[in-house]
Amino acid sequence: MSIVFLLMRAPRVHQLPQESLYSSNLGSNSRAEAISWLERRLYYLKEEMLMVEARMESMQHEYSSLKAHLQRLERLRPKS
């Protein structure tokens, strides 16, 4: 259920207005700020992906454990 929730969650997209990036009155400082902002966003995205991967790996282990437990319970169930 958690995997479905993670996949259904809408991604947060931060978009800079295109005219602010390509306007002729922008100095190199504003472009440097935009690049810096993009680099920070990329860093945070990578961190979030690592957290999601770790969580999915944990969920895989939990699934395997629960599946093994269910199989043991099914073997103990009396056959009719």
What are the tens digits of pLDDT across the range 14-59? Answer: 666 666 555 545 566 798 899 999 999 999 999 999 999 999 999 9
**CA geometry: angle 61, 62, 66, nearest 5 deg:** 120
Residue 30: other Cβ atoms inside 10 A: 13
Query: What type of residue sits at position 23?
Result: S
DSSP structure string for 18-80: HHHHH-TT--HHHHHHHHHHHHHHHHHHHHHHHHHHHHHHHHHHHHHHHHHHHHHHHHHSPP-
Q: Answer whether residue 12 shows pLDDT above 90.
A: no
pLDDT at 60: 96
pTM of the predicted model, to two decimals? 0.54
